[in-house]
Amino acid sequence: MSVGAVRVGAHAFRGLGSLFSSPAALLLLLLFVVLGFSLILALWDPLTARIGFRNFVRGRRRTAVLLLGLLVGTAIISSSLVIGDTVGSLSTHFTYVYDGNVHEAVYAPGYAPLPYSFFLKLNDSMATQKDVAGVSPLILAPGQVSGIDRQSGVPQTGMNLVGTDANVSQALGPFTSVNGRTVPGPLPGEVLLNPTAAQDLDAHVGDHLLLTGPTRQNETVTVQALVVADGRGGFQDNGEGNIFSTLSDAQGLLRMPGAINYVAVTNVGGAEGGIQYTSTVMSELTSTVPTVMSKFPSGTLPSSLGIHNVLQDDVNSAASSASSLTTLFLVIGLFSIVSGSILVVGIFVLLSEERRGQMGVARAVGMRRRQLVKSYYFEGLAYSAGSAFLGTLLGVGIAYLLVDLLVSVVDTGSTTQAVLTSFTVLPSSLLIAYVTGFLLTLGTVVLTVTYVSRLNIVRAIRSLPEPPLNRRSYLRVGVGGGLILLVGLLLVRLGLPDSVDVGVADLGVSLAIFGAGLIATSLIPNRLAMTGMGAALIVFWGDLPLRNAMFGTGHGGSIFVFFLEGIMLILGAIVIYLFNGDLVMKALRSLLGRSSKRVPVVMVAFTYPSQKPFRTGMTLSIFAMVLFTIVAIASIGSGVASNLSETVQSASGGYTMAGTSEAPIPHLAASVQNNSTLASDFSTVISFYSTQGVADPVSVPNASAFSARLAAAPVGVPADQNFYTSNQYNFSSTLNGMSSAKVWQTLQTQPSAVVLSGDFAGGSRSFFGGSSRTPVVPGEVLNLTVPGTPYSTQVHVIGLLSETLLSVVLLNPGTMTGTLHSNQSSLFLFTTAKGIQAQQSIYDLKRAYFGYGLQLMDFQQTLTSNLQFLVAFIDLLEVFVALGLLVGIAAIGILAFRAIVERRGEVGMLRALGFRRGQIFLAFFIEYSFLALLGIGIGVALGALLAYNLSQSAGGILSFSVPWVNILLIVALSYSLTVLATGLPSYRASRIPPAEALRYSE
């Protein structure tokens, strides 16, 4: 799909109201304050304002180059926000489809039946409520119906049944056929199918379907129409397909005569417009429902009824997921934003150095230091305003390209349309991006020029060495270091409880190291103290076992830890280089300068970086940060992809597929063996005793109970059918480090032992942060109950599996059948026979057992499809962070351009001394190549280190795999662009006639 062919939909630039949402309004206010302050300042001191603004417009080309360098941070912020807007808009779009016109709903847990009269009474009570458009009775059976199309012969299990009567559900709106016509009904004995259901059954209008409910009740119906998946036809469809029947037909199929299980409330004003009345209607329902319930005799209604704020909750949830994505992009983009800020600092330091003559004259004629700062402030104001404007627009373009790219790798068809028509740019996002970018740039400029102006101007502009610190200065540094150390230790203390983000403690340790380094400078040589500090930062952040030993493996951290880790690792490396760069240079000079012809070139090339630590550090940091992020993200993508076969192996346990059925299937293994079609398809069929249960972590205070499938494999079966001895599941953790064989043996013999699947072990230090559920750990005690029965038991966890697909608590078989009295099978594992395709056997199994509602999951296909999406998404992030490369290239290009202007006199002198043009070019070329390659090297090495750490902490879902070919390509691209960016100014420097070059220093 080409970008040009895509039209921005009606949603784009919608929501002017959001402009005045609270963060945007606050930023707008801040913008006005800054502009007002600037105006007053300009009126108060028009001379400095004039100087500042004239400096801004002095050279068009230079202004354009600097604007380009300054806009990157804003572009990253803007694109992150617009991506969030689009995903928010898309999620909201799907929410309106999923919830339709149902703003509020009343139903019991598990969709327990309610008498139809409950609806009638509630409808009567709500009739006077002016904010309510209608109350509708429904029957929902999500994922509980199987069907087979008599004409196509295609079976499908786990579909949704929605029972609805057109005459009492008008508030929900009409169905629309795929031809765009309004469809009445559904009619008795007929059903409406949405596109998913129609496709799954290969059904057409007029086909006869045999439907089977969870209690194995059958019913034959005719397809009345195929309806579109809008707010009516897509209602509550999470991808399983909807079958709409009359209430009466649904009652028959589900064996619940005269009952409903869902009362939908629709507000006035349509789906979106009605949300504003939700709180009023919810409060009305909260008082009305108990009154209505009280009119029913005890036992005729479920013990509890939930009143659900359906649409608003889902819209909020959509906004929250969009916000999470914005956060993800912003955090990933933070490296580029920081790089952009460093570039802003660099640009203004260079400008102030370049203007030493102008500054000197200005000071000589009586201008105060404060006025100099003000003139830079006004110039910075103009640059910030211009770059933030351009950056905001560029960000919208970047977001559009990224969304387009994401769509092209993920899907084609209706989702594509939905995404692209949802491409949304909220004015509030533009405002937030603009003001944030503007303030970020201006703030950085103000801090930089204030710092520059505080230096001894003569010393600063002539690059005179700073005088060595005296004892008093060292004392001050030591006291400052002590304070930072204390703050760091305090943060470590605050961050230690597991409930606190581990980033707090990590930041504390980093500050403590920094403070200790500063204290050490007053006791030992600076080189030693700072090298120690840098090394300590790298060891702390790079050595995962050390951090795990300090804070524990279960200590969760948000994605900001990723940013912190990157910044601290790079800071450590740069500090080490800055305090030891002269040694590196010396080594390089003697290594590369062995040939006497190269000596002078190498001497000139390698001396500048070590003598200009600020500029060197700045360039290195920018390159290192960008490459760090690219390598880390590329390695994560590669790790996920290359781990596919291991992931399939560990997630499948050596089995081909898993099955769950709505109704228990007795003796499935024997039944399969006796089926002529299926007998040769499978080598192993394992039926688990299983039931739905609730697990309450009694040994963990304040931990919530959670639902889980309880299961146990039978013992005393042939060895190849024995789950305990033949499965190949891996454990992510076991009690006291027990071996896998020991865990399975213990599970068979010890009644209180349980093993949980990996999805219950949330909260590990994973890349995207921890799970919201309290993580379960080995040794924990759980109270297991089977709802609706008096049976319960207390068990302790002896192991957590790596796999996360089954979502199961595996019990001792005796406990399952004896204590919990669960001896029916609705969970199965299959291994296909050699040469049998999983897809074919799935089809055969579904056909044979569709009456039981058997649903099957092909491990290989599920994992591959999940991982492919994840890898595609990670690739997209990679493209996003690669934008940061622009910062690096811009940085080194601008630095080269300005540095060569500044060093023209020296170029002239070198030429006078006999340097050839080629030698001048080579000297600059080597200098910038060295800086770029060193920065790239630091970034690549630390990015790979982070990837290694992530692979170690990701619980087996990520292997350590750096895509070296891709990385080499990126390095080659970065380096080539650097050569292009620095080559031109270097070439120009080499072409300046010596006499002309010398004039600049005369």
> Interface residues with another protein (CB under 8 A)?
462-465, 593, 596-597, 599-600, 603-604, 607-608, 611-612, 905-906, 908-919, 993-996, 998, 1001-1002
Q: b/e per residue, 419-429, with b = 16+ CB within 10 A?
A: bbbbbbbbbbb
How far apart are CB 467 and another protein at their closest, in Å? Answer: 11
CA angle 762, 764, 768 (to 5 degrees): 90
How far apart are CB 406 and another protein at their closest, in Å? Answer: 48
How far apart are CB 613 and another protein at their closest, in Å? Answer: 11
How far apart are CB 947 and another protein at their closest, in Å? Answer: 37
Number of Cβ within a 10 Å radius of residue 872? 16
| Beta carbon nearer to another protein, 751 or 994 | 994
Amino acid symbol at 763:
G
| Beta carbon nearer to another protein, 403 or 605 | 605
How far apart are CB 609 and another protein at their closest, in Å? Answer: 9
How far apart are CB 16 and another protein at their closest, in Å? Answer: 52
CA angle 153, 156, 162 (to 5 degrees): 120
How far apart are CB 407 and another protein at their closest, in Å? Answer: 52
Q: Are 28 and 431 in contact (CB under 8 A)?
A: yes
| Beta carbon nearer to another protein, 109 or 993 | 993
Number of Cβ within a 10 Å radius of residue 625? 31
Residue 876 has, within 13 A of its CA and on its CB side, a CA count of 25
- Reduced 3-state DSSP string for 221-278: EEEEEEECCCCCCCCCCCCCCEEEECHHHHHHHCCCCCEECEEEEEECCHHHHHHHHH
| Beta carbon nearer to another protein, 162 or 460 | 460
How far apart are CB 361 and another protein at their closest, in Å? Answer: 18
| Beta carbon nearer to another protein, 757 or 919 | 919
What is residue 662's three-state secondary structure? coil
Can you tell me which residue has the tokens 């004015």? 427
Tokens of 855: 């649903």
DSSP lists the bridge partners of residue 139 as 163
What is residue 799's three-state secondary structure? strand
How far apart are CB 946 and another protein at their closest, in Å? Answer: 35
DSSP lists the bridge partners of residue 792 as 785
How far, in Å, CA of 618 to CA of 624, rounded? 10
Amino acid symbol at 908:
G
Beta strands in 757-905 (DSSP E): 781-785, 792-801, 808-811, 825-832, 855-858
Q: Which residues contact 625 (CB under 8 A, 6 or more apart)?
A: 335, 336, 338, 339, 566, 567, 570, 884, 939
How far apart are CB 985 and another protein at their closest, in Å? Answer: 18
| Beta carbon nearer to another protein, 281 or 920 | 920
Beta strands in 289-351 (DSSP E): 306-308
| Beta carbon nearer to another protein, 463 or 789 | 463
Q: In terms of C-beta density within 10 A (0-12 exposed, 13-18 middle, 19 or more buried), how is residue 523 classed?
A: exposed
How far, in Å, CA of 741 to CA of 744, rounded? 5
| Beta carbon nearer to another protein, 706 or 1000 | 1000
How far, in Å, CA of 392 to CA of 997, rounded? 40
CA angle 926, 977, 379 (to 5 degrees): 95
| Beta carbon nearer to another protein, 711 or 926 | 926
| Beta carbon nearer to another protein, 433 or 910 | 910
| Beta carbon nearer to another protein, 773 or 917 | 917
Over the Cα atoms of the chain, what is R_g?
34
Q: Which residues contact 239 (CB under 8 A, 6 or more apart)?
A: 196
| Beta carbon nearer to another protein, 463 or 976 | 463
How far apart are CB 455 and another protein at their closest, in Å? Answer: 15
Query: How many DSSP H helices and E strands does the chain contain?
Result: 34, 23
How far apart are CB 65 and another protein at their closest, in Å? Answer: 25
How far, in Å, CA of 102 to CA of 591, rounded? 75
- Reduced 3-state DSSP string for 732-751: EEEHHHCCHHHHHHHHHHCC
| Beta carbon nearer to another protein, 270 or 905 | 905
The distance between the two most distant Cα atoms of the chain, rounded to a whole number of Å, is: 108
How far apart are CB 577 and another protein at their closest, in Å? Answer: 17
Would the CA dihedral through 286, 292, 293, 295 be positive or negative? Answer: positive
What is residue 953's three-state secondary structure? helix
| Beta carbon nearer to another protein, 713 or 998 | 998
Whole-number Cα distances in Å, 578 to 179, 620, 934: 70, 10, 12
| Beta carbon nearer to another protein, 118 or 608 | 608
How far apart are CB 922 and another protein at their closest, in Å? Answer: 13
Tokens of 393: 């627009």
How far apart are CB 599 and another protein at their closest, in Å? Answer: 4
| Beta carbon nearer to another protein, 149 or 906 | 906
How far, in Å, CA of 1002 to CA of 998, rounded? 7
Whole-number Cα distances in Å, 635 to 466, 624, 642: 43, 16, 10
How far apart are CB 919 and another protein at their closest, in Å? Answer: 8
How far apart are CB 376 and another protein at their closest, in Å? Answer: 24
| Beta carbon nearer to another protein, 2 or 1002 | 1002
Amino acid symbol at 510:
S
How far apart are CB 458 and another protein at their closest, in Å? Answer: 11
| Beta carbon nearer to another protein, 534 or 908 | 908
